[in-house]
Amino acid sequence: MSWIEIAVAAAALVLLVPILTLALEVIASVPSRERQPMSGATRPRLAVVVPAHDEAALIGGTVRAILPQLLASDRLLVVADNCSDETAAVAGAAGARVIARNDTSRRGKGYALDFGIRHLSDDPPDVVLIVDADCRVGESCIDLLARTCAATQRPVQALYLMHAPAEAGLTGRIAEFAWILKNRVRPTGLGRLGLPCQLMGTGMAFPWRCIARADLASGHIVEDLKLGLELARDGSPAIFCPQALVTSDFPSSAEGMKSQRTRWEHGYLGVLLQDAPPMIVQSLVRRSLPLLALGLDLSVPPIALLVLLASAVWVAAALVYALEGPVGPLLTASAELTLLGCCVLIGWMRFARDVISAKSLAFAPVYALAKIPLYARFLVARQIDWVRSKRDHERST
């Protein structure tokens, strides 16, 4: 067997890990039964922390959506982080307690969160909730997260969905569907199996003992993902609470969408390569099913990249077979592509038929191909610094 045949066979076997993981999560998500929220648990004293950088246009609406869900003993703290606009004034006028942080040498959401947590440490709450400044909290979201966190003494992640503006067109609808696969279908499956989920950056609740000792002061571009992995290693993996809903919108501008997508996917892939293999090994050494589940879940790349990789391996295996090589890699690659297609179809039928039509979904391979430059840049010019995505109300200068 030549080295090319060995390489193709190895690639097909490696891809089995994320594809089988995805398939298990999707299949587990199909039953319609939902775990009941812990509404009977005692409502803890809580603080909602909202990190905000130049969010004057949106922060007022976010504050006004949160305040009606708070009790007299609760607090809402907006961290106006390195702002050059009226974020602090707007948030204060809407009814939030506002603290300002100015340190241009240390930029990023992690630094803002660290600043907010240290501010709360003089009179710590029982539970801390984190909501991004551009998000909308659903009805009873704050109460559900707080009670579940208090009852389990573990971090809790809300269902966080992003919607595509009407003007975003087909690309926006496919992106919204991919988001549903990652943030709804997969954690739903994990939750039904009694397994933890990744943190998603907003709609998160933490017991004070967890968040107070966490290493938040970081400029990492996916600080929430790193935080969830660190807490899991310390014995506090996050659980999914799908009844608590937080929503936001994709940018409608091509520039904003490109910036946001690059930051998320480059950050995720960097963590995947750095953390997934050692976490899987560590889970086996410690005999920890939650760590194994998180390591395997982390090994699943963005769905567009997974489709591209599976297709590339299939083409390579077909060429090897055509040159009178072994048929095994081709059979494996064909099974992987078929299983991946079934996962996408099941996820769409169960959770996203109201988001994108079957006809539009057929263009998903074109969407994946269009993202090749993004993944190529990860190899040659990876984004490692935090950069805020441009909002639709902002204009390039």
Give phi and psi for 51, each to the nearest 5. -75, 135
> Residue 147: its pLDDT value, please?
96
Cα distance between residue 353 and residue 160, in whole Å: 18
> Residue 255: its pLDDT value, please?
76
Q: Is 243 helix (H, G, I), strand (E, B) or coil?
A: strand
pTM over 0.85: yes
Q: Give one DSSP letter per residue of 280-346, joined into a string.
A: HHHHHHHT-HHHHHHHHHHT---HHHHHHHHHHHHHHHHHHHHTT--SHHHHHHHHHHHHHHHHHHH
Cα distance between residue 301 and residue 378, in whole Å: 13
> Residue 32: its pLDDT value, please?
72
Q: Which DSSP category does 185 fall into?
A: I
Consecutive 10-residue averages of pLDDT for the chain (397 residues): 88 96 97 66 92 94 96 97 95 96 90 96 97 95 96 97 88 94 97 96 97 88 91 96 95 76 89 95 96 97 96 96 91 97 97 94 92 91 62 46
